[in-house]
Amino acid sequence: MELTGNTIFITGGGSGIGRALAEALHQRGNKVIISGRRKANLAATIEANPGMDSIELDIADPASIRRVSAELISRYPKLNVLINNAGIMQVDDVAGYVDDELISSTITTNLIGPIRLTGSLIEHLKKQESAAVLNVSSVLGFVPMAIAAVYSSTKAALHSYSQSLRFKLRKTRVRVLELIPPWVRTELLNSSEESRAMPLDEFLQETMEALATDADEIMVARAKFLRDQAGPNESAFVNTFNERFELQPPEAEPVQETVSRS
């Protein structure tokens, strides 16, 4: 992916991985527009990065997606990169009853929203000289974390969607990329101080290096092992992986991060 001269819309750009990507791309001379749920975070990000813009989007609302898509195309006719980063992660227990709101909000935000938003912008992106859709999934889409089963399922589905989208757009000028983060020190699952998680600055440096290549799947080194576990022996690995978290679980408090809602 070309890392300069783009006009980029990033959902969930007010904190965590989204803000880190937004700032790194902004510093490389791209026009960056962010959206996010928490207005204070958006304002702080914009203030810290003169020239960056923000727009209000409710990723769960089809009407909001249509309105914002039309506004983006009108205000930023050179828009050529969409980064579907907004997401929520909440602890659940699929061995019992799972709250309907948790199920609905997670699937809508992490999967349905990106599909709707991409669909609303894709014809515009096709008209650009060079364009890209970058979907942010997770290693948990390949090795699910059982205490966040719904979240892990949405990331697996987003990976599948990305593969289909890449195939369907293969004869256009739109590249489809998938960023597959490992556990990173962000607010997600209260992991800002988690020693087992990858420091955000290290993750960003490796990610930007990978983005500059021709790879379709963007991964830091420590993500590749989990990405490669899919296959006939994956069930045994998933069991071992989750047994480790039973011994030392992350903070179990439900956490929302970078949801593009007002």
**Residues acting as catalytic residues:** 151
Contact 132, 218 (CB under 8 A): no
Unique residue bearing structure tokens 């992916």: 1
The 3-state secondary structure of 36-84 reads: CCCHHHHHHHHHHCCCCEECCCCCCCHHHHHHHHHHHHHHCCCCCEEEE
- For the CA atoms of 115, 19, 50, 31, the dihedral, rounded to the nearest 10 degrees, stands at -40
Residue type, 122: I
Strand bridging mode 81-84 / 131-136: parallel
